[in-house]
Amino acid sequence: MQRLLLLLLLLPLTLSAADYRVGERLAAGKGNLQGFRELMWDDLMPADWDPMAVFKGVDLKRLQDADPKASELLAKVRKEWDKAPVERSLNGQRIRIPGFVVPLERKGDDILEFLLVPYFGACVHVPPPPSNQVILVVPAKPVRGMRTMETFTVSGTLTLQGGDSGMGIYAYRLAAERVEPYQVPQGKKK
């Protein structure tokens, strides 16, 4: 359990040949915004909300894998993060945001629906992030050959429409007009 809590806190751990590490986030993308507002993941959280508040006063080093207190803490974190508040001013905004994908609905090689998450490993290798850090993306046309944890920049209209995808609770829905492979900004690694 202690290892799971450490992952929850996004401590880096190399997991794949994809050159990303669990917890790693993308820099703002590059390209033409064409009427979309560039957002980063922190923009989706109200400024007065602290996702780490649930850990205040907890000494994670004292928790062991089999400790019932660790299981209780993880359940408490999940409960709080599943009801994370949204940034209401973003409702109906045309936005552009880079992230990692978790395909949900497939038809052959086409992806009809996916989650966009802020860091590598979210919803797959580690517990899902807070719901206000998970976006359900419904592209205008299917995306061919998308794989789990690939990086994309998605542009479209964001709404405050939450739900449970089975892979994680999401607080936002994005009607995507464009789904493009993420391009690393000049001067950044990867």
pLDDT at 59: 82
| CB 173, CB 158: distance < 8 Å | yes
Look at the block and give the residue holding tokens 């206000």.
132
Cα separation, 26 vs 127, whole angstroms: 19
Strand partners, 169: 164
pLDDT at 2: 40
Q: Where do the domains of the chain lie, and which CATH numbers do they carry?
A: 2-181 (2.40.50.870)
Enumerate helices (H) and strands (E) in the chain, giving the number of each: 2, 9
Q: Which tokens hold the place of 44?
A: 């989706």
Q: pLDDT (tens digit, 9 = 90+) per residue, 19-60? A: 767 767 777 766 667 889 999 999 999 999 999 998 888 887
pLDDT at 17: 30
pLDDT at 3: 39
Per-residue pLDDT 10s for the chain (190 aa) are 443 333 344 333 333 335 767 767 777 766 667 889 999 999 999 999 999 998 888 887 887 778 888 888 888 889 999 999 999 999 999 999 999 999 999 999 999 999 999 988 886 656 789 999 999 999 999 999 899 989 999 999 999 999 999 989 999 999 999 999 988 776 555 5
Q: pLDDT (tens digit, 9 = 90+) per residue, 143-155? A: 998 999 899 999 9
pLDDT at 99: 95
| CB 186, CB 150: distance < 8 Å | no
Model confidence, pTM? 0.83
Q: Which letter, b or e, does each residue of 104-117 get, where b requires 16 or more Cβ atoms within 10 Å of its Cβ? A: beeeeeebebbbbb
Cα separation, 49 vs 60, whole angstroms: 21
pLDDT at 124: 62
Q: Which tokens hold the place of 128?
A: 């899902």
